[in-house]
A and B are shown apart, each in its own frame.
Chain A
């Protein structure tokens, strides 16, 4: 495509598009070093203070919200990954009634706008008289993560060679042994990817959380509440730290995956 005119057009455009995606990230990172007062809007000079004393602002409200988000993300991830992996195995490996209904039930939460999911759960909790707290947030997050786990793990289960498990059974492995020693280790990369995705979805969710959190503050909710009067630079520090950590994890996974592929290529 476009060989004469556009030998450089497409690469340059792509670089600019990626640069465009990076602008708000760069802004957030740079302003985490701003020697700001209450609100972090005007540049007042460079400082490491906010990175060194993250929890000192507003009696540690930012850090408390951040901790809540970590806790909620961890619990929701464990529950959603377990339930979702079980469903994924069943869908790929077994025959059962109501198959298309099950697929629809798994697809719908992904096709429903978050505001509807959030309002629906909140209406249910309201009519049952359930008080909104940490538990209701976890229940909500687990719900929307399950479908994403199923989609991610399903691909991995489908690519698994059933002959490997048969070999295990031929060698007198019990069903539990075959699962623990063969199936689970082979599925692990898919399960880990699903867990990471769940955690990321839960950690950054605001719309559903806002409807089901009561007085509990998560990190995104803290930013929402503070947006009117100004976000302290400490929020930028925490967000930037998470960004760097996630980037390191993803790059490590990519590089080790590439290295593994190269080793395998050498063997064959």
Chain B
């Protein structure tokens, strides 16, 4: 079971958070939480979470994504999702979260969708 790996990069005013592996109870959820905190502490409030290499999310991981979304939104920022795998998309659909998150399939389009005004 591949553990979660998280790296981030700048794309203009947006920070792209590339995740791979599993977002599950324990280390996976904890790493996502600490990474989001780190980004927010660094005033990075426009975050595009790339889930293209995430092959598994459990309820804890879903909760952590929701928590990240809320934390960023509370800071006046935006958190969007990119490249959902079928399993992740299905999970977000049956939990009705697909309508909560702004989900994109193309990085360029996703980056353009962010608000460019100062937060």
Q: Do A and B bind each other?
A: no
Instruction: Please report A residues at the B interface, Cβ cutoff 8 Å.
Output: none
